[in-house]
Structure 1
Amino acid sequence: MEPAEDYLKEVTPLGEDDCFVIIHRPQKRGFEYPLHIHPEFELNYLEGAKGALRIVGDSMEEIGDKDLVMVAGGTKHAYSNHHCAAESVCEITIQFRADVFDSILNTRHFKSIRQMFEDASKGLVFSSDMLDRIIPELKKLTKDDSDSFHSFLHMVEILKILSSDNQMRLLSSENIVDGFSSSENEKLESILRFMHEKFRESIMLGEVSRSSGMSEASLTRFLKRRTGKTFIDTLNDIRISQAVCCLIDTSASITEICYNCGFNNVSNFNRIFKKRKGCTPTDYRQKYEKSRFKL
C-alpha cells in the first residue's frame, strides 16, 4: 500500500482567515474533475450538466439537468463529462471548514446540521423539491459579496434549510478514504466508469477484466480490496443507484425500471432492492411521494 501522500489531493482556495469560499462559474463547458479529496466540506451545484457522471465513494450516478451534493472533508469524489455535451454549465461550489462550527455544533439549534455533516462523509444528494427551494438562495449568495459577515450568515441559513430535506439521499455505501496510490485510484475509477456505461447490459466479469487489462482473479481481488465488495455486488449497487433515481425522477413502471437498469426479472430486482434499501421499489416510491415538500 502506498502512503496517503500519493493520493490526489485538491488544494482549495480557502484561506486561513476565510470561513468559506464561493466558486461561481456561470458558463463552463462540461464538467470534468478526476477522483480527489480535500479536507474541506463542499457543497456543489451543477445546472445544465445533464448526462455527466458523478462519483462519490463507491457511488456512480448519471446526473440530471440540476444536481446538488454535499461531501465531507476526506470523501473521495469525481466528475466526468460522460454523456454531457452541454455548451454551457453553471457551477456554484461552496467550500468551508467544519471546525468553524465546533463551538456550536452540539447545541440543539444545530442538531439537524450536525447530522447532515455526519452523513456527508458518504456524500449527500438533495431532492428535486429542495433544489427548487434552495437554488435562488445559492444564486443570491454568489452576488452577496458586499458584506462578508452577512454572507456567512446567509450560508448558515442555507445549511439549515438543506438539513431539513427529509428526502436527501446517501450516496456511497461507505466512506472510502484510504492511502492507496493515485494509479490504483485511477484504475478503480476506470473500472467503475466502464461498469456504469455497461450496467444496462448483461455485463460479465470477463468483459470488465478485459477492459481493465487484468485477469478475472486479479480484478476480483482488486475490487474486494478497494471496495470491500464482490464484482456482482458492485454492479448491483450501480444498478440500484440508477433505479432509485428512476423511481424518484420518472413515472416509469417498476417493470420498466427493472429492465432498464439491467436486472433480468422483477422478482430478482425487488429482492436486491429490498436488501439494500430496506423496502421494495414500490414502497420506496410511495414513501417518497408521501413525504415530498409542500412549497
Structure 2
Amino acid sequence: MFSSAYSLDASALSLRYNRDNLFALSVMKPAYEHVTMDAGCSIRVFHRKLPRIPFEWHHHPEYELTLTMNSRGKRYIGDSIVDYEGNDLVLVPPDLPHTWASNKSIDSTAPQVAIVIWFSGDWARRLADCCPEYEPLRRLLRRGASGLAFTQEAGATVSQRLAALLSQSPRERLGAVLDVLCELAETDAAPLASPSAFNKEHAGRPSGHEPERINRVLGVIDARFAERLTLRELAEAATLSERTLNRYFVQHLGESVGKYLNRVRIGHACRMLADTSWPVSVIASQSGFPNVANFNRQFRAVKDTTPAAYRREFAGRNREPHDPSSLESRSPSLEKRR
C-alpha cells in the first residue's frame, strides 16, 4: 500500500514538474542559432565536450541529429520533456526549439560528449531526387517532422562510427553521415513534440523570411567582419530597414547588430592573440579595429582584461594552430552572453 501510494505521488509530482516546465518554455523565446557550413562542405559536424550540458533553449532552420554520451539529465524538444541518459540519439526538425540540460556525467572522470550533425532539408531532398540510392533520406525527413528519439541501441551503433563521423576528411564525414541517416530511416523511433505544439511554435511567425534574411546578414559579417561594415550596408543585404534589421537581431539573437559584429571581431582577435605573435596593432586591424585605442577599450569591455594580458594567459603553452574548420568550433550566436 505504501509503495503504491508513493508511486502515485511520484507520478503526480513528475507530471506537475513537466507541466510547470512546459509553461515556462511556452513563454520563453528561443534563441536563434546561426549554423554555418564550412567551405566545401554540405553538412556541419560539431564535436562538443564539456563538464556539463547547459540549458540553451534555441532553434535553427537546419535538421539536427544529436548523439549525447556520458550524460544524464533532461531533454527538451518542443513540448516533449523527458529524462535521458547513455547513448541518447535524437533527430530535431527545423525551427523546433530544443535543448539538453545536465549537471551529471555517467562517468564523472570523463567529459560529457555531444556529436551534433546539422544538414539542410532541401539539400537532403535534392540528393534523393538525384540519387535513388538516397531515397531513404526523404522517408527520414517525413518521419521526423515532429522530432524522433531513437533507441539507446541505435545510439550505441552510431557511436561505433565516431572515427568516420569525426574524420578530418570532409568526404569521409559526409559518407558516414549519409550512411547513418539512411539506416536511421529504417530504424524504430518514437516521435517527440506533438503536432499541436509544433504548430504553436510556428503560429504567427513569418514564413521563414526572418531567418533567411538574418542568415544573409550573418554571411556578410562572417566573410567581411574585418572590413568597415555599416548598418545601412547590412540592412540593404537583407532588404530591410536598419531599424527592422536591428529588431530581428534582438528578437532572434538576443543582441543588436553592432554588438554581434563586435563579438565576432573580438572572438577573431582572441584566436590571433593566442595563436600568433603578431603585434596587437596588426591583430586589431585584421579583426576590424583600425584604431588600437578603440580595440583595447572594446576588448576590455567584452573580456574584462587587456589584449596583452589575454595573450600572456597563453604564453608558453603548446597550442595547435587555429583551424577555422575545427569540428570543436561553434558559431558565436549561442555563446554565453555577458
Q: TM-score, normalised by structure 1?
A: 0.52
Given the alignment, which residue of 143, 148, 163 partners 1:119? 143
- Unaligned ranges ≥5, structure 2: 1-28, 206-338
Partner amino acid for 2:58? H
The answer to whether the 8 A contact 2:75-2:83 is kept is yes
Q: Is the counterpart of residue 105 in structure 1 residue 125 in structure 2? A: no
Find the aligned partners of 2:177 and 2:194 in 1 and give their Cα distance.
28
The answer to whether the 8 A contact 1:7-1:179 is kept is no
Q: Is the counterpart of residue 73 in structure 1 residue 94 in structure 2? A: yes
Q: Is the counterpart of residue 64 in structure 1 residue 88 in structure 2? A: no
- Unaligned ranges ≥5, structure 1: 1-5, 182-295
Q: Is the counterpart of residue 84 in structure 1 residue 104 in structure 2? A: yes
Rg: which structure is higher?
Answer: 2
Q: What does residue 182 of structure 2 align with?
A: 160
Q: Secondary structure at the match of 1:95?
A: strand
The answer to whether the 8 A contact 2:69-2:86 is kept is yes
The Cα of 1:124 is off from its aligned counterpart by 0.7
Find the aligned partners of 1:35 and 1:7 in 2 and give their Cα distance.
5
Find the aligned partners of 2:143 and 2:117 in 1 and give their Cα distance.
17
Alignment of 1:1-295 (within 5 A): 7-15=30-38, 17-25=40-48, 27-50=49-72, 52-81=73-102, 84=104, 87=108, 88-106=111-129, 108-137=132-161, 139-145=162-168, 147-165=169-187, 167-174=188-195, 175-176=198-199, 177-178=201-202
Cα deviations across residues 67-112 of structure 1 (Å, max 9, x unaligned)? 010112111112222x635642011111111222333325653343
Higher relative contact order (CA 8 A, sep 6+): 1
Q: What does residue 202 of structure 1 align with?
A: none
Partner amino acid for 2:76? I
Cα deviations across residues 193-218 of structure 1 (Å, max 9, x unaligned)? xxxxxxxxxxxxxxxxxxxxxxxxxx
Find the aligned partners of 1:99 and 1:17 in 2 and give their Cα distance.
17
Find the aligned partners of 1:133 and 1:85 in 2 and give their Cα distance.
20
Aligned length: 170
Cα deviations across residues 18-54 of structure 1 (Å, max 9, x unaligned)? 31111112x411112322110111111111111x110
Cα deviations across residues 221-273 of structure 1 (Å, max 9, x unaligned)? xxxxxxxxxxxxxxxxxxxxxxxxxxxxxxxxxxxxxxxxxxxxxxxxxxxxx
Partner amino acid for 2:116? T
What is the percentage of aligned positions where both structures have the same residue?
18
Partner amino acid for 1:21? R
The Cα of 1:16 is off from its aligned counterpart by 6.4
Q: Secondary structure at the match of 1:132?
A: helix
Find the aligned partners of 1:16 and 1:23 in 2 and give their Cα distance.
15
